[in-house]
Amino acid sequence: MCLAIPVKVTEITGAVARVEMAGVTREVSVMLLPETQVGDYVLVHAGFAIERIDEQEAAETLRLFSEMETNLEN
């Protein structure tokens, strides 16, 4: 049921955002995520943006993987 890949917000009009993924655009509601801004990456479920992807946290998670690699090598 869940689409796990984030989509990019390209336009917002009222409670409706236009999102784009791999060249396909569609409209989703931002009623559940009113602070959404153009340029955000969001998770979409059943036509609604449900959460914004936190760029810093994504980088931090990737960094933890790398840190772990370093530890393994030590």
Partner 1 sequence: MSNDHHRYVADFRNAEVARKIADRLAARKLERTVRLMEVCGTHTVAIWKHGIRQLLPEGITLLSGPGCPVCVTTNADVDLAIALARRPDVTLATFGDMLKVPGSYSSLQQAKAEGAGIRIVYSPLDALRIAQDNPSTSVVFFAVGFETTAPTIAASVLEAERQELDNFYIISVHKLIPPAMKALLDSGEVRIDGFICPGHVSSIIGARAYEFIANDYGIPCVISGFEPLDVLQSIDMLVAQINERRASVEIEYSRAVRREGNKVALELLHRVFEIADADWRGMGILSRSGLKLRPEYSRYDAEQVFDIDSGPTRDHTGCSCGDVLRGAMTPSDCRLFAKTCTPEHPVGPCMVSSEGTCSSWYQYGGGTYGIR
Return residues touching partner 1 (CB under 8 A). Answer: 1-2, 4-6, 8, 29, 31-34, 41, 43, 45-48, 50-51, 53-55, 57-62, 64-66, 68-69, 72
Q: How far is the CB of 71 from partner 1 (least distance, A)?
A: 8
The length of the chain is 74
- H or E, element range at 48: strand 48-52
Q: How far is the CB of 27 from partner 1 (least distance, A)?
A: 9
Q: Which is nearer to partner 1, 12 or 29 (CB)?
A: 29
End-to-end alpha-carbon separation of the chain, Å?
A: 41
What's the rounded Cα separation, in Å, for the pair 2 and 15? 22
